[in-house]
Structure 1
Amino acid sequence: MANKKFKLSSSLFGHSLDVRSVVVANNNSIISGSRDKTAKLWIPNKINSAYAPITTYHDQKNFVIAVLYLDPTQEYPDGLIVTGGNDNTIYIYKPSEPFATLTLKEHSNAVSCLSKTSTPNSFLSGSWDCSAKLWALNKSQSSVVTFSGHSAAIWAVIQLQDSRILTASADKIIGVWNSEGVKLSSLIGHTDCVRGLLDLPELCQFVSVANDATIKVWSYTGENVDTYYGHNNYVYSIARCKAAGENSFVTSDEDRTVRFWHNGVNVESFQLPAQSVWSVACLSNGDVVTGSSDGVIRIFTRDESRYADQAALNKFNEEVEALTKQSSQEIGGYKISDLPGKEALYDPGRKAGQMKMIREGAGVVAYTWVEDGDKSHWEKVGDVLGSTDKNNQDKTMYEGKAYDFVFSVDVEDGKPPLKLPYNRGQDPYQAANNFLAKNVLPTSYLEQVVDFILKNTQEQYVPTANEYMDPFTGGSRYTPSSGANNQGFAGANFDPFTGSSSSITLSHGIKYFPINVYRTFEMGDPNVILGKLKEFNEKSGDSKNSVVSEGYLDEVVKLCNGPPDDPNAFDVLFKLLDWPDEIVFPVVDVVRMAVRHKKNNEIISSANNGILIQKLMGFVNENCKVVNNIIVALRTLCNLFIHEYGEDLVFEHRFDVVENVTALGSLNKNAQIALATILLNLSVASLKKKDELGISVLADVIPDILSKLSDPESQFRGYVALGTLLTSPNSQQIAEVKAKVKTNSGFVSALQSHLLSGQSDLENKRQNCAQQVQDILSISF
């Protein structure tokens, strides 16, 4: 048996989102907690090695982070199940009942960990409110002791055999406490958030794991007696394997890996087909249970009699191999292994037409969000293919020609997908037109095909990426992309109020306006931002701008990807906005990415009586000396329009925005593009809200600014904004707008020069758009 390797025994399906916690109850039953807001009790199938879900616990109002089983007592002969989560609440269940028997509400933030004590019906809890608590259910429904003293979230809490309490925190410290709540010592050794703790009482030692990828062994006297290395990423969980010996345990990490340790040696490791292995536990027979980010609970065994059948083993190995291969592959600048799995499709889209790339099996599939009332859903667009191996620069062959990408596009159920070839730098509209013409498809598909190309290649409208230099790195990796809402720019003549399409003209006849969708800046790498925040953190200044715990910086950056686990992240974000001007731009960029998400947009837009708009106006100002602040502030204003809260905020201050941008001096290409985009979004908003005064003001401002822009993409967006105003449904106001524009001599001169043919696809596109504006104005040269 000792020479056998761990292999898959069983996969338990039932959760729809990440399984954040797994523990073993009596008779080798399993309890799981998930981001889908439920916990489940699974019992072994006596026929084979499979498990069956018996009870689902529904009371948690947010993610279930931690679960615990309390052993049977006279009062509770079946034991108790305890859950804690992001609703700051602890629920206690009888195993057979789906609704809680007791509810405990003392923590002021997410309950992140739970563990047993040596006393029956007692347990410990830890929270992001920086405290841990001891509960004794026989005495009262209030906590018995509170352990306070950490400066950041607590991620683990346990009781040692000698009754002392240990707490592990994001402040990198392990706290040692007596049973009365008095802090005895602080153990310092880890260089990042401490995530897990394990007692080894026979050795008078305990073990800690952390985000610094290390495992540390401590003596009961507080000495760091050993450090184990092997993990390559955050270590999330640790569990003892008593069946394998007194000094045996397993750990799991962010790099898909579970490692089995015996006497300080990493005896074996195996990988899962999921990016994060959040939690591990061990059954009494030595089998290992895992909970992971793909929502699946898996059991691994060394006992051949409990191995899964060969078909299941083959499928599992193929999934692992595919994800391992994807870790060295990219599509459109995305690392495939970093893309979400199908569990991401449980989250609704932000708007109709939003695109999302999903990792499925060995490949990547694109989905689009379809708005249909209660039936809104993610709809498969097609497989994403192309040159993906970073170490293999060979192109994909199609019909005898080499292409950077060859996409498979599903057009009709039951029919094979069609192939769409594309090369970087190619005009996406022309490629889409060619595809539609070759396959005799309706021109109404043009916009979807163009959006598909741009989203999955991360191509820009400009031919060279370095024109969008990233203020963080100077490169093009972190640049604004075309985003998910390109549909208003070309390919369709949209009614600005209903969104309906009145006509679509192909090739050079594309109508670029009017549009009714907001233009945004979607791209960004949260890891790059986090790096800058940590770099600048030590430079943040005086006592007002004190240094922030790196654990809180991590939580702030999570805002880029959606609502945070820790709601205090918003308070920290606004604190960081007080950083000195020369280092604040990564903080503003967090805001830019955060407000793409509806809940973030609502909270940030309404916080502190509109403090955000005051901050942004301070950066979009002629007195601002830091150009990066101007760029990220303008981009943030653009992204605020995505949801109604930010839209209303910017619209309320639209005249302040216009006044400030007109006073800006000479700008680089990044700033020009952001400036033109905010004018475009203001034009869309003014038409949407039938704001006659706003339309009149923009008719004065846009031609004047457009005549001063030097970047072709910025000029193009300026013409789209102006064309949108010129096609207002209010015929009387159109006459007024036309008259204002035609009397602007600087604009007329610029228009004449822009009507000349260009040297690039971008300049030609600007020329075509300028021509359409001239046709409306009826200006003769």
Structure 2
Amino acid sequence: MTKKFKLSASLYGHSLDVRSVAVTSNNSIVSGSRDKTAKFWSPNRIDTGYTPIQTYRDQKNFVIAVLYLEPTDEYSDGLVVTGGNDNMINVYKPSEPFTTFTFKEHSNAVSCFSEYSTKNSFLSGSWDCSAKLWIAGKPNSVITFTGHSAAIWAIIQLKNSNVVTASADKTIILWNSNGTRINSLSGHSDCVRGLLDLPELNQFVSVANDATIRTWSYAGETLNILYGHTNYIYSIARCKAAGDNSFVTSDEDRTVRFWHNGENVEHFQLPAQSVWSVGCLSNGDIVTGSSDGVVRVFTQNESRFADEATLNKFNEEVEALTKQSSQEIGGVKISDLPGREALYDPGRKAGQMKMIRESGGVVAYTWVEDGDKSHWEKVGDVLGSTDKTSQDKTMYEGKPYDFVFTVDVEDGKPPLKLPYNKGDDPYQAAHNFLAKNMLPSSYLEQVVDFVLKNTQEQYVPPSTEYVDPFTGASRYTPAGGNSGQGFTGANLDPFTGGSSYSTSANQPKPSSTTVSSSEQGRFFPINSYRTFEMGDSNVILGKLKEFNGKGGDGSNESINESYLEELVKICNGPPDDPNSFDILFKLMDWPDEIVFPVIDVVRMAVRHKKNNEVIARANNGSILEKLLSFVSENCKIANNVVVALRTLSNLLIHEYGEQLVFEHRFDIVENVTALGVLNKNGQIALATLLLNICIVSLKKKDDVGVSVLADVVPDILTKLNDPESQFRAYVALGTLLTGSNSLQSEIKTKVKSNSGFVSALQSHLLSRQTDLEEKRRNCASQVQDILNIGF
């Protein structure tokens, strides 16, 4: 067990994440990808490489799961099985690109497969919370297993013929061969992602998002818990060539770990953020599928090592990504940028820019429109990355901290890590620590005391004073049902008419109070995001039911109304059923004319942290691309524009949405500058989003973004005709002017040279007829003072 795994071969051919791999007895490989294809690879018998024998393209959406069934009398070459987000199972003969059988019983994504003891048969698991047994050649499933309350992520048959399923509901269920539940097992604290049978030991193994590996007896007793991974564990595979109790696992921290007799004897990293799937060949080699779209083979056999140049290149890529995990450019972690696989996706329009992570750093590409020859063209290296590590900092989960404490909470368990930076709120740090490790809230004061004693810091409670620049009040006072992050009167619904949909039913109009400049204090800078809070999920549900069956992929297929009722629950917090998110993304494909209530569900859902994370991370942030399609000069549906602008503002209030919006800030700014004439609600939403982007650019110390916004905000302000919207644009501009010390002179020069803005500023300084115009005038006056412009 002293030999080390090294790269044997890299298989290129997929254009997006390789989500699943399966192996054959003769060491061929089947891979499934988000590019909607699966591929069959065979060893080329010349060197360590593989040759793509066939590509399977019948899946209409991402391929999540693949399986190979070994040859039988009926199918002498075996069968390839694929499943994915289109809810379909396709079965192929390996040499043929078209399906031999298609199964359509699952009502949601097909997420996993495994072999079954009967020849030509297999098991499937789905996000519809069911599992099924199939026999090739029979039109319908033979057995259906139902009992989980969330998506099924793994399924296997044990040596004793029982079936085991693992689910996002954190449980594992044992079933007999007739589909009757035997036992439900608990132990994992998060989604269970993989299962493995160890038949010689009468045991099976599970892996989960809680970063633990659990060994179980066939009766369902926990035998052991293995630790080593630091992030979600996605996959597990048996390495039979290494012994009865040997297996390999992969995870979200770029790591593959090899286990033997309960010990992690080796681990290695890949130059890709997520190692989605692993498999083990009969010769002991390990196969991986990862987020960079590459299938890789690793071996301990020196005769199958890749050549020295290939090994050096691979090691350099791993080292570069490890280093990039502590580097930033423009406030974005370099390791979070897409790799070259992102260049397979065509650009949306000529001139679009992309930053691509490469082994030597970050490279900018632009989309060149040239008919059939349109392509991404390299612009050059992007400079300005900064290494965040220092001798005085300790790295933890890719971030530098002044302190990373080791805390022993329970005997027999590995110690927990508590990261802390000087100046942080110790109560917030303690709360995050307890929440992450699912410890009782009663420990809060004890943890805070521990932090304060060990850092020798004194706790200074935050000030209770709050000057609200949007109401002119000297102290914040929450109104009934409205968040302090919202604007008074800001969320008036854009949809008018007697029977129209409304997100703020029966909302009273706010009263206005004139406040003098001296009473209201400064309107800026603002450092907390402004959101759109109001909405009635029951009203949204009514509109979804009205539109149900009128959209989708050109069909009139309706969604079960019980699913819609579960879906709208995410407006008010995390759902009971995680599959609600899948329904949400499916409904986003409704036609533009009726999709606005679906967007509004997103707007309300992302106010809640867990929802924000799930929606922002789903499908590599595809929600951002969808929202950008509505915030576009090509979108002719005013409702979609307004709600999409509001949703982008709400996304920012939690870290995953914030990072997603920040990464696409230039795309957003480019789109909003091209928008046509907006109604009052559209203008308010636009000005609010611009303010929030100013805040995040300053927060991330994004000098490039701040400089761009100094050009954009004054221009857009001149196009607004609503006093409230103009006021918010002035607040955004004032926040830029006072929030960026390093660029203040440059911003002032840019703004003062904008003759259109200077003319609008003069006009607004002279106008004070209504309360709103008075508020706008006072804010404009403060901007004038900073710019030192005299009229």
Q: TM-score, normalised by structure 2?
A: 0.61
Q: Residues 559-598 of structure 1 correspond to what in structure 2 (within 5 A)?
A: 596-598=624-626
User: Kindly tell me: are residues 667 and 272 of structure 1, through their superposed partners in 2, closer, same or farther at Cα, counting changes over 3 Å?
Assistant: closer
How many Å apart are 1:392 and its aligned residue? 4.3
Deviations 1:618-648 (CA, angstroms, capped at 9, x unpaired) = 999xxx9xx979xx99x99xx999799x989
Q: Amino acid of the residue matched to residue 111 of structure 1?
A: V
User: Kindly tell me: are residues 238 and 541 of structure 1, through their superposed partners in 2, closer, same or farther at Cα, counting changes over 3 Å?
Assistant: closer
Q: Amino acid of the residue matched to residue 282 of structure 1?
A: C
**Which residue pairs with 2:680 in the alignment?**
655
Q: Amino acid of the residue matched to residue 723 of structure 1?
A: G
What CA distance in whole angstroms lies between the structure 2 residues aligned with 1:615 and 1:334? 24
Deviations 1:247-268 (CA, angstroms, capped at 9, x unpaired) = 1111111112111111111111
**Which residue pairs with 1:248 in the alignment?**
246
How many Å apart are 1:163 and its aligned residue? 1.5
What CA distance in whole angstroms lies between the structure 2 residues aligned with 1:298 and 1:672? 38
SS in 2 for 1:316: helix
User: Kindly tell me: are residues 190 and 393 of structure 1, through their superposed partners in 2, closer, same or farther at Cα, counting changes over 3 Å?
Assistant: closer
How many Å apart are 1:197 and its aligned residue? 0.4
Deviations 1:197-255 (CA, angstroms, capped at 9, x unpaired) = 00111111100011111111000110111011111111111111111111111111111
What CA distance in whole angstroms lies between the structure 1 residues aligned with 2:155 and 2:60? 23
What CA distance in whole angstroms lies between the structure 1 residues aligned with 2:311 and 2:693? 56
- Equivalent pair of 2:106/2:128 in contact (CA under 8 Å): yes
Q: Amino acid of the residue matched to residue 358 of structure 2?
A: E
SS in 2 for 1:161: coil
Q: Amino acid of the residue matched to residue 598 of structure 1?
A: K
Match of 2:157 among 152, 156, 159: 159
What CA distance in whole angstroms lies between the structure 1 residues aligned with 2:570 and 2:388? 46
Deviations 1:550-584 (CA, angstroms, capped at 9, x unpaired) = 9569979999xx999xxxx9999866766799999
Stretch of structure 1 that moved more, 217-226 or 33-42: 33-42
**Which residue pairs with 1:711 in the alignment?**
734
1:63 aligns with 2:62: yes
What CA distance in whole angstroms lies between the structure 2 residues aligned with 1:313 and 1:668? 43
- Equivalent pair of 2:730/2:780 in contact (CA under 8 Å): no
Deviations 1:20-44 (CA, angstroms, capped at 9, x unpaired) = 1111123211111112221111111
1:205 aligns with 2:230: no
1:98 aligns with 2:131: no
How many Å apart are 1:190 and its aligned residue? 0.8
**Which residue pairs with 1:280 in the alignment?**
278
What CA distance in whole angstroms lies between the structure 1 residues aligned with 2:312 and 2:571? 58
Q: Amino acid of the residue matched to residue 151 of structure 2?
A: A
**Which residue pairs with 1:76 in the alignment?**
75
Q: Amino acid of the residue matched to residue 305 of structure 1?
A: S
**Which residue pairs with 1:744 in the alignment?**
767
Q: Residues 82-481 of structure 1 correspond to what in structure 2 (within 5 A)?
A: 82-138=81-137, 140-386=138-384, 388-392=386-390
What CA distance in whole angstroms lies between the structure 1 residues aligned with 2:648 and 2:346? 33
- Equivalent pair of 1:66/1:84 in contact (CA under 8 Å): yes
1:54 aligns with 2:62: no
What CA distance in whole angstroms lies between the structure 2 residues aligned with 1:242 and 1:617? 54
User: Kindly tell me: are residues 599 and 107 of structure 1, through their superposed partners in 2, closer, same or farther at Cα, counting changes over 3 Å?
Assistant: farther
What CA distance in whole angstroms lies between the structure 1 residues aligned with 2:178 and 2:780? 82
User: Kindly tell me: are residues 148 and 741 of structure 1, through their superposed partners in 2, closer, same or farther at Cα, counting changes over 3 Å?
Assistant: same
What CA distance in whole angstroms lies between the structure 2 residues aligned with 1:618 and 1:271? 37
**Which residue pairs with 1:44 in the alignment?**
43
- Equivalent pair of 1:563/1:597 in contact (CA under 8 Å): no
User: Kindly tell me: are residues 244 and 543 of structure 1, through their superposed partners in 2, closer, same or farther at Cα, counting changes over 3 Å?
Assistant: closer
How many Å apart are 1:277 and its aligned residue? 1.3
User: Kindly tell me: are residues 187 and 603 of structure 1, through their superposed partners in 2, closer, same or farther at Cα, counting changes over 3 Å?
Assistant: farther
User: Kindly tell me: are residues 345 and 640 of structure 1, through their superposed partners in 2, closer, same or farther at Cα, counting changes over 3 Å?
Assistant: closer
What CA distance in whole angstroms lies between the structure 1 residues aligned with 2:147 and 2:354? 43
SS in 1 for 2:296: strand
- Equivalent pair of 2:727/2:779 in contact (CA under 8 Å): no
1:723 aligns with 2:748: no
How many Å apart are 1:154 and its aligned residue? 1.2
User: Kindly tell me: are residues 392 and 206 of structure 1, through their superposed partners in 2, closer, same or farther at Cα, counting changes over 3 Å?
Assistant: same
**Which residue pairs with 1:548 in the alignment?**
575
What CA distance in whole angstroms lies between the structure 1 residues aligned with 2:723 and 2:713? 16
What CA distance in whole angstroms lies between the structure 1 residues aligned with 2:74 and 2:611? 58
Q: CA RMSD in A?
A: 5.5
How many Å apart are 1:64 and its aligned residue? 1.4
SS in 1 for 2:323: helix
Deviations 1:524-572 (CA, angstroms, capped at 9, x unpaired) = 9xxxxxxxxxxxxxxx99999575259569979999xx999xxxx9999
**Which residue pairs with 1:11 in the alignment?**
10
User: Kindly tell me: are residues 235 and 555 of structure 1, through their superposed partners in 2, closer, same or farther at Cα, counting changes over 3 Å?
Assistant: farther
User: Kindly tell me: are residues 393 and 286 of structure 1, through their superposed partners in 2, closer, same or farther at Cα, counting changes over 3 Å?
Assistant: closer
User: Kindly tell me: are residues 110 and 570 of structure 1, through their superposed partners in 2, closer, same or farther at Cα, counting changes over 3 Å?
Assistant: farther
Stretch of structure 1 that moved more, 10-19 or 89-98: 10-19
What CA distance in whole angstroms lies between the structure 1 residues aligned with 2:306 and 2:14? 21
How many Å apart are 1:153 and its aligned residue? 1.4
User: Kindly tell me: are residues 721 and 642 of structure 1, through their superposed partners in 2, closer, same or farther at Cα, counting changes over 3 Å?
Assistant: farther
- Equivalent pair of 1:273/1:323 in contact (CA under 8 Å): yes
- Equivalent pair of 2:288/2:297 in contact (CA under 8 Å): yes
What CA distance in whole angstroms lies between the structure 2 residues aligned with 1:366 and 1:76? 49
User: Kindly tell me: are residues 194 and 570 of structure 1, through their superposed partners in 2, closer, same or farther at Cα, counting changes over 3 Å?
Assistant: farther
User: Kindly tell me: are residues 323 and 603 of structure 1, through their superposed partners in 2, closer, same or farther at Cα, counting changes over 3 Å?
Assistant: same
SS in 2 for 1:27: coil
User: Kindly tell me: are residues 640 and 141 of structure 1, through their superposed partners in 2, closer, same or farther at Cα, counting changes over 3 Å?
Assistant: farther
How many Å apart are 1:591 and its aligned residue? 12
SS in 2 for 1:92: strand
Q: Residues 683-694 of structure 1 correspond to what in structure 2 (within 5 A)?
A: none
User: Kindly tell me: are residues 147 and 577 of structure 1, through their superposed partners in 2, closer, same or farther at Cα, counting changes over 3 Å?
Assistant: farther
User: Kindly tell me: are residues 376 and 173 of structure 1, through their superposed partners in 2, closer, same or farther at Cα, counting changes over 3 Å?
Assistant: same
What CA distance in whole angstroms lies between the structure 2 residues aligned with 1:130 and 1:259? 29
- Equivalent pair of 2:695/2:735 in contact (CA under 8 Å): no
Deviations 1:504-529 (CA, angstroms, capped at 9, x unpaired) = xxxxxxxxxxxxxxxxxxx99xxxxx
Q: Amino acid of the residue matched to residue 597 of structure 1?
A: E
- Equivalent pair of 1:594/1:600 in contact (CA under 8 Å): no
How many Å apart are 1:713 and its aligned residue? 3.7
**Which residue pairs with 2:489 in the alignment?**
none
What CA distance in whole angstroms lies between the structure 2 residues aligned with 1:238 and 1:318? 27
SS in 2 for 1:711: helix
How many Å apart are 1:388 and its aligned residue? 2.7
SS in 1 for 2:680: helix
Q: Amino acid of the residue matched to residue 34 of structure 2?
A: R
User: Kindly tell me: are residues 571 and 207 of structure 1, through their superposed partners in 2, closer, same or farther at Cα, counting changes over 3 Å?
Assistant: farther
What CA distance in whole angstroms lies between the structure 2 residues aligned with 1:667 and 1:64? 37
What CA distance in whole angstroms lies between the structure 1 residues aligned with 2:343 and 2:259? 36
Q: Amino acid of the residue matched to residue 177 of structure 1?
A: W
- Equivalent pair of 2:216/2:222 in contact (CA under 8 Å): yes
What CA distance in whole angstroms lies between the structure 2 residues aligned with 1:295 and 1:161? 34
User: Kindly tell me: are residues 221 and 723 of structure 1, through their superposed partners in 2, closer, same or farther at Cα, counting changes over 3 Å?
Assistant: same
Q: Sequence identity, in percent?
A: 55
- Equivalent pair of 2:237/2:249 in contact (CA under 8 Å): yes
Q: Amino acid of the residue matched to residue 93 of structure 1?
A: Y
- Equivalent pair of 2:765/2:777 in contact (CA under 8 Å): no
